Amino acid sequence: GAVVSQHPSWVICKSGTSVKIECRSLDFQATTMFWYRQFPKQSLMLMATSNEGSKATYEQGVEKDKFLINHASLTLSTLTVTSAHPEDSSFYICRPSAGLSTYEQYFGPGTRLTVT
Amino acid sequence: DAKTTQPTSMDCAEGRAANLPCNHSTISGNEYVYWYRQIHSQGPQYIIHGLKNNETNEMASLIITEDRKSSTLILPHATLRDTAVYYCIVFYRDDKIIFGKGTRLHILP
């Protein structure tokens, strides 16, 4: 089956710093990348959608200048949390999609961000 | 909003079959039914998906009603490791997946 990796798996950073999270699709080309975040005891919330080589589309309430998404290649997307604050502490999960209706759709293992 | 509704929680005895229901009455003709589960602090794990026909793999079986308005995920012999939150989702290709709250399944020893 498809494999999706995220790096790092967890990160602790100080308030005001920026953090970059990588998502890689290891055995298929992801034309679309979805980024989610999940707060404790809550469900996954879609943050943004990006197509390779295009600007990301953000969901309502998600600050595009704070959460920078780069999808420069078909196997790599990055999410950068800029000027992180404690309220940005969350579990961030990616979902690369090859756009195939019959394909098993996989999610990344997630990145735990803690801002102190 | 999520396109599916699921019970908030369910209990199942270890070794028994766990049957998790899902309603998706507004499903479109080209949308697939997907099931995932999430164990604490991990990304959603793919379980199974289907369009119209019932499906079975090494993890579970998926039963989709003829009108496609509901489905049931069956874990044939539940173990303690199956304790997780189970999400039923309907979507097509690159459609955005909007998660509902899922069903928290407790496997009882």
Q: What is the pLDDT of residues A56-78, one digit of tens each?
A: 999 999 999 999 999 888 899 99
**What distance in Å separates residue B17's CA from the closest CA in chain A?**
24
pLDDT at A1 over 60: no
Q: What is the mean pLDDT of residues A20-48?
A: 92
| Residue B93 burial (C-beta neighbours within 10 Å; 0-12, 13-18, 19+) | middle
What DSSP line would sit under A53-114, residue for residue?
Answer: TS--EEPTT--TTTEEEE--SSSEEEEEE-S--GGG-EEEEEEEE---TTSPP-----EEEE
pLDDT at B48 over 90: yes
Q: What is the mean pLDDT of residues B89-97?
A: 81
Q: In what order do the strands lie in the sheet with A67-70?
A: A4-7, A19-25, A76-81, A67-70
Nearest to B72 by CA among B109, B32, B29, B35: B35
| Mean of the per-residue pLDDT values of chain A | 91
pLDDT at A101 over 60: no
Reduced to 3 states, what is the DSSP secondary structure of residue B82?
Answer: helix
**What distance in Å separates residue A58's CA from the closest CA in chain B?**
12
pLDDT confidence tier of residue B65, bands split at 50, 70 and 90: very high
B102 and chain A in contact, CB less than 8 A: yes
B11 and chain A in contact, CB less than 8 A: no
B5-33 pLDDT, tens digit per residue, is: 999 999 999 999 999 999 999 998 889 99
- pLDDT at residue A113, as a whole number: 97
Confirm if B105 and B84 have CB atoms less than 8 A apart. yes
- pLDDT at residue B3, as a whole number: 87
Cβ–Cβ gap B97/A46 under 8 Å: yes
More confident residue, B47 or A54: B47
- pLDDT at residue A28, as a whole number: 79
Q: What is the mean pLDDT of residues B42-47?
A: 93
Give the chain B residue whose CA is nearest to the CA of A96: B94
| Mean of the per-residue pLDDT values of chain B | 93
pLDDT confidence tier of residue B102, bands split at 50, 70 and 90: very high
| Residue B84 burial (C-beta neighbours within 10 Å; 0-12, 13-18, 19+) | buried
CA distance linking residue A53 with residue A30, whole number of Å: 11
- pLDDT at residue B105, as a whole number: 98
CA distance linking residue B84 with residue B49, whole number of Å: 18
**What distance in Å separates residue A97's CA from the closest CA in chain B?**
6
